[in-house]
Every structure is written in structure tokens, then in C-alpha cells.
Amino acid sequence: MTRRLFFTTLALFAVISNAAQAASNLQKELGVVAKEVAKFLKDQDEQAVAVGEITAPPQLAASSGPGIQQILAEELKKSGIDVKARARLGIEGKYRDVVDEKTKRLAAQIQLSLVDRAGKVLVSFDRGVFGDATLASLFGATVELPPNADDKTRDRTLQDSLDKSRTTLAGPRISPSPGSPYGIEILVKSGGDFHPRPARDDDGLAYVPIKRDEIYAIRICNDSPHETAVTLSIDGLNVFTFSENKSYTQWIIPPKSKSVIYGWHVTNEKTDSFQVMEYARSAVAERLPNSSSVGTITASFAAAWAKGSPPPPDEPNAPNEFARSADATGRGPEVTTKYKEVERAFGVTRAAVSARYTK
């Protein structure tokens, strides 16, 4: 699948443009819900709705509810519905991991309800979302997935990582296994420099202590012999959520290298730094003031290669992802950046690494 990318001139990492690609798995499913909600509301002569918290089972310590809310809110607006903090009707919901009865594939089940102020359910929606990178981001997984394995094996590996989390820590580096070529490091700004902050293992989950008002960055490590495309999300929001180009989705890290992501992408010359702040001022609250489920950084890795070049030898013929019909991180001081456009293709998800930065 061909993508347009932007590379920095200072370090070889990049942003992928998704302009030619169909909407993401999650966006497709929430788009269906938004259209059905819009039809119901218009039949009731309603023009606005509030979007409340969407939560995961507490056992998963997942915090992607804000990301689900943000996409749902955008899809509702596309359908002509205003999203307000106060409205007569509201949407609430939950998400969890399931095995889809029809396909026997691992999926995220998203259950949403339109309710009145008394809590009466007016209409309910149940959607399934598939795809390794999507599921890893939604549930904050840390896992290594064999690219050549069949779907059943990859699903079982991902499910096992949710049932029993395992994280490898080596100094500040967080990896899915001791020999994995992929990892992340959290860097916290002190004075004028960024310094690695070690994580601790809490029952298989990596936690990095970051205090309120601290600015941090994320170092992405790629020790593999090929480029890797990285999807990076914080508190359930893609780091391109605030980008002026809404089609950007991923970063490219060159082989045998490390690159630092300093903040939320705004333009190819401007980035807003990652900064922990009180929830009311956070990036999540800026979009959806009702949610307080935050605290996870997730990077998902896939091999990437230049347009017209052969993929890595262990890359399957086609990606197997498909779709079926507190404190928080905010936007801190601006950082100057510069990117250059190229073209790339990328394959299946090979690993995902997550770090919780608040409990």
C-alpha cells in the first residue's frame, strides 16, 4: 500500500499521509454509528448530542476512550450533528476485546448507547473493529507479532498479551521482548535538555513517572534492518490529531536508528510539545471535556519500504488487517520542525509497545 511520507532534514523520521487510503478501521465503524445516530436525532428534531465517557474493562488498564470519543465526535459533525458538553441527549459506552463469532478473529467490541438525562436508553449500537495495530492501540498492548504467522496465531499472541502483560525493560528502553528490534524510551525535559526516564514494571505493564507540568518526548528505536512505519498514540489520540493535515497517520524510522518525537504535529514546520497538565487543560479535554480516562502511550511498528522496491523477505503478500461492515498530556510550548515528502509502502504490524504514564 503506497503512502506519502514526510522526512525531517535533521533526522530520518517521517510522517505518513493517508490521503489516498480509505478511513481507518475504527473510523469506518464509528462513521456507521454516527450516521445512525444522526438519523435518529433528526427524526426526534434534535440537532445536538453530548459524547460521554467510553471505557474499557478495568483489568486491561486501557485508556483509549478519548480517542474513540474524538473520532465519534468528528463523524457526528460530518453527519450534521453538533457535539456539545450540554445537550438533551448523550452517548455513553464501553469497549472490550472479543472473538468475533462469524470470523473467529480477535476484535474490539464497541457498545454505544444514546440516552436521555434519566439514563433511559433510546437506541443502542454494537460494532466490531479489527486490525492488529488498531487493537494494540485501543488496549495499550505490548506484544511482538510474527509477520509470517497465520491469522489465528497472531490473534492468539495478541490475546495472550492482553490476558498476561509482559514487558522487557532495559534501562529506559521499553520493548515487547528481550530480543526485539523495536522499543520506545520516554525522555523528560530538564533545563534545556531531554533525559531518559526509566520505567518500572508493574505486573507486566510499563509505568513511567511524569509529573504535572513536565514536558516529555518519545524516542522510537528501530534496530531492524528495514525501515519501520510507526503509529504513535497518546491517551487514545494519534499524535496527528491536531495536525492541519488530517490525513497524516504514521512516522517512518530508518533501519538501525532512533528518532525522537517531540510533540503533537501541527504543520511540517511546527509541533506542540507533549506536556502533562491538569486534565481540564489537556489535549483530550480540549476535544472532549467529559472524559478522564487517560494515561497510555502506544507505538505500533510495521516494516516499510520505498515505492517500487521489494518488501522484506518475511513480509506476507498483503497486510491481514481489515474492517467489518486525572492528569493528561496536553499541548505545551511550540517546537520548530521541518519535513520532506517521499513515498513508502508498509506491511503487517510486527510489534506494539505501550507505556502508562499515570495510574
Q: Which amino acid is at 220?
A: I
Cα–Cα dist 64/69, whole Å: 9
**Mean pLDDT in the chain?**
83
Handedness of CA 247, 250, 255, 259 (dihedral sign): positive
Mean pLDDT of 117-138: 92
- The domain tally of the chain equals 1
Give the end-to-end CA distance of the chain in Å, rounded to a whole number.
38
For 3-38, letters b (16+ CB in 10 Å) and e give bbbbbbeeeebbbbbbeeeeebbbbbbbbebbbebb
* pLDDT over 50 (residue 182): yes
> What is the pTM for the complete model shown?
0.83
Tens of pLDDT along 151-175?
889 999 999 999 998 999 999 999 9
Give the model's pLDDT for residue 177. Answer: 95
* pLDDT over 60 (residue 314): yes
Give the model's pLDDT for residue 336. Answer: 65
Burial of 259 (0-12, 13-18, 19+ CB in 10 A): buried
Query: What is the residue range of 216's domain?
Result: 2-356
Give the model's pLDDT for residue 170. Answer: 94
- 18 vs 97, residue with greater confidence: 97
